[in-house]
């Protein structure tokens, strides 16, 4: 769509949304205003979230006010961000927009309203179990089925095969002991009248398959559904999409096959490409990378060994920088960690904020141990993966939202400038959220007004003196718990995650959690140290990648990597590399000791050869 076509569209759109459409690029605008089902391929830094929100806004504005639009996201945080961005575009939505994870969508819009009409009703007074409970029951199921003690790889494969089975995949090639364990585990859930998180979309799929009437009612409520990160959401969601497509629901699915990272859980880029082959789907692609310069874009694509039409934004003059730091001789991963310390110190002295530097690693193991040791000895503060963070769940999200508003100060409608944090909500939005949680827990009735709650929040969140992002979170957390009676809400909540949320938040605060971190932002003054997987969806000025030694990155066994293993390793490394706005530092070597204490003399990682365009000859130990 060209700019001369905008006036006709603007007549149907709210003013703020029309203004947003005018600022989109042509390819973003064409995707956002497409009529019908759509596959939107969006590479790194392509403005995917902005386009997705504009798409949802367009569907809301051009669909009957008696119908709704659903946006299904990978995480609760992403769902909240979609809702907040829509509000800033003049689309508060209410019941017309459902922005949630696949688990929340299945529970709220399929299981709770329709399961009791089918042969697979929900248990009376069911609960959603914790991860610890689920792990214990998997152990029991494995013992009962004759599988024995579960190893980590068993748990991963059981989870994957369970999802494939639920989606209807032919199980002839599946491990018989795994199948028996999965069957027994499901029996244990039924006996205890609980669901785990995987059971929620599984049961929803069973409900959809059981009756055409339910599918038609959902299609009438949600004629349009938008799904983000489709390449990583797996076989059960794909089966749900196919069921609803057959009833006339139009889907917009957004993803990037090159960034598939959860194949070990059953995810596959095949599901995205399968939709592209279906009648009624059109594919659009976002090719402009607004994050990185041209040199970084080209280097990243070399890792994929793929040709993509990605290009830097026209306004981006800086090409970006790739730096190689070579570890000479038979020096081990401790030297990689020490060099990472030196690099970080140099970049901070040159003016980069610590929280804009990320040191990324593939998984737990010797490299992570050495990184922790080196950075602690150098007294460089770092924000480690899964450390000092608040837990998932609605109550913890509410605490995070309140903290974000507390730091942002009196708005209205302003935004938090904290790196990594979503825009701060208004007091009335927070009061409405609090009210809804109390109604759901049976502590209030729908007719109560949230205005009194807003006054309470005003006294708490606009209090003087004003806080700083680096302030300790403990005092504010305790005031929040006390004045909003969050302990009572936690105990009465239907979400089992809320039952332990306050205890976990207090534990995180006791470990030194800052207000910025409790608000969902990066820790002020701390570099980020996390896995390739956990870096997905984030961006930094500088990315440091240590441990780039063949057989370590990419990892492979004595017989060498299979084609599938190498493809997955390339995708994971590509995601890590493309997090950088300005510079990627590659720390390379030819020696490392693995997690079993076995030394390996190989060469620098083949991924570095791809990036730098050179292939030096080295002896390689397999």
The answer on whether 47 is annotated among ligand-binding residues is: yes
Start-to-end CA span in the chain (Å): 54
Nearest to 381 by CA among 529, 542, 526, 543: 526
Phi/psi for 363 (5° steps) reads -170, 175
The answer to whether 320 is a known ligand-binding residue is no
The span from the CA of 500 to the CA of 250, in Å, is 39
Sign of CA dihedral 24, 30, 31, 32: positive
Query: If you ran DSSP here, which 8-state letter would residue 292 be given?
Result: S
- In terms of DSSP bridges, do strands 591-593 and 599-601 run parallel, antiparallel, or are they unpaired? antiparallel
Contacts of 503 (CB under 8 A, 6+ apart): none
Dihedral sign, CA of 440, 441, 445, 447?
negative
216 is in an annotated binding site: no
- Find out whether 554 is annotated in a ligand binding site: no
Spatial distance between the Cα atoms of 507 and 588, rounded to a whole number of angstroms: 38
Instruction: Give the span between the Cα atoms of 25 and 8, in whole angstroms.
Output: 17
DSSP state of 444: S
Residue 42 labelled as part of a binding site:
yes
The string of DSSP letters for 551-590 reads BBTTB--TT---HHHHHHHHHHHHHHHTTEEEEEEEEE-S
Is there a binding annotation on residue 45? yes
CA angle 83-89-93, nearest 5°?
A: 50
Which ranges constitute the DSSP H helices of 168-198? Answer: 176-191
Distance in angstroms (rounded) separating the CA atoms of residues 205 and 239: 7
Q: Is 507 annotated as a binding residue?
A: no
How far apart CA 340 and CA 586 sit, in angstroms, is 10
| Distance between CA atoms of residues 554 and 369, nearest Å | 18
Residue 219, annotated as binding a ligand: no
Cα gap 319→297, rounded to integer Å: 9
Reduced to 3 DSSP states, what percent helix, strand and coil does the chain have, rounded to the nearest 5?
Answer: 50, 15, 35
Residues annotated within the binding site are 42-49
Residues annotated within the binding site for ATP are 42-49
């Amino acid at each position: 769509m060209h700019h001369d076509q905008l006036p006709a569209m603007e007549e149907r759109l709210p003013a703020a949304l029309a203004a947003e459409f005018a600022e989109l690029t042509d390819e973003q605008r064409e995707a956002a205003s497409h009529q019908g089902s759509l596959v939107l391929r969006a590479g790194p830094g392509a403005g995917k979230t902005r386009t997705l929100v504009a798409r949802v806004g367009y569907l809301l504005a051009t669909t009957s006010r008696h119908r709704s639009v659903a946006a299904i996201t990978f995480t609760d945080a992403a769902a909240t961000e979609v809702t907040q961005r829509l509000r800033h575009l003049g689309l508060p939505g209410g019941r017309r927009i459902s922005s949630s994870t696949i688990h929340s969508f299945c529970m709220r819009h399929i299981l709770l309203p329709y399961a009791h009409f089918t042969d697979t009703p929900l248990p009376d007074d069911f609960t959603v179990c914790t991860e610890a409970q689920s792990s214990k029951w998997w152990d029991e199921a494995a013992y009962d089925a004759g599988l024995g003690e579960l190893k980590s790889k068993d748990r991963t494969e059981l989870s994957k095969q369970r999802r494939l089975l639920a989606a209807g995949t032919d199980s002839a090639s599946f491990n018989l002991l795994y199948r028996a364990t999965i069957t027994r585990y499901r029996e244990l859930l039924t006996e205890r009248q609980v669901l785990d998180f995987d059971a929620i979309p599984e049961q929803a799929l069973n409900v959809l398959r059981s009756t055409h009437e339910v599918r038609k009612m959902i299609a009438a409520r949600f004629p349009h559904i938008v799904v983000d990160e489709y390449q990583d959401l797996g076989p059960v969601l794909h089966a749900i999409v196919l069921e609803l497509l057959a009833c006339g629901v139009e889907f917009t699915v957004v993803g990037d096959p090159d960034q598939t990272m959860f194949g070990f859980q059953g995810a596959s880029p095949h599901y995205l490409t399968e939709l592209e082959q279906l009648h009624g789907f059109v594919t659009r692609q976002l090719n402009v990378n607004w994050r990185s310069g041209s040199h970084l874009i080209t280097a990243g694509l070399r890792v994929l060994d793929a040709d993509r039409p990605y290009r830097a934004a026209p306004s981006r003059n800086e090409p970006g920088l790739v730096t190689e730091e070579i570890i000479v001789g038979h020096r081990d991963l401790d030297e990689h960690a020490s060099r990472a310390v030196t690099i970080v110190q140099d970049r901070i002295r040159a003016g980069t904020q610590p929280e804009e530097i990320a040191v990324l690693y593939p998984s737990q193991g010797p490299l992570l141990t050495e990184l922790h040791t080196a950075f602690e000895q150098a007294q460089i503060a770092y924000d480690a993966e899964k450390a000092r963070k608040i837990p998932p769940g609605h109550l913890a999200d509410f605490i995070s939202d309140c903290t974000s508003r507390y730091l942002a100060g009196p708005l209205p409608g302003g935004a938090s400038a904290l790196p990594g944090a979503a825009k701060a909500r208004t007091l009335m939005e927070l009061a409405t959220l609090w009210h809804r949680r109390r109604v759901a827990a049976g502590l209030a009735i729908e007719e109560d007004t949230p205005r009194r709650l807003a006054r309470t929040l005003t006294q708490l969140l606009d209090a003087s003196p004003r806080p700083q992002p680096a302030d300790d979170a403990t005092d504010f957390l305790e005031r929040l718990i006390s004045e909003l009676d969050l302990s009572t809400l936690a105990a009465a909540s239907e979400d089992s995650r809320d039952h332990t949320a306050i205890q976990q938040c207090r534990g995180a605060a006791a470990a030194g959690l800052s207000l910025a971190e409790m608000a969902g932002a990066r820790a002020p003054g701390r570099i980020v140290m996390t896995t390739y997987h956990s870096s997905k969806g984030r961006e930094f000025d500088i990315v440091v990648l240590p441990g780039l030694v063949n057989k370590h990155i990419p990892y492979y066994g004595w017989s060498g990597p299979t084609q599938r293993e190498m493809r997955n390793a390339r995708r994971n490394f590509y995601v890590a590399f493309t997090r950088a706005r300005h510079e990627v530092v590659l720390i390379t070597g030819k020696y490392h000791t693995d997690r079993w204490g076995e030394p390996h003399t190989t060469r620098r990682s083949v991924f570095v050869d791809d990036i730098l365009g050179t292939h030096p000859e080295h002896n390689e130990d397999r």
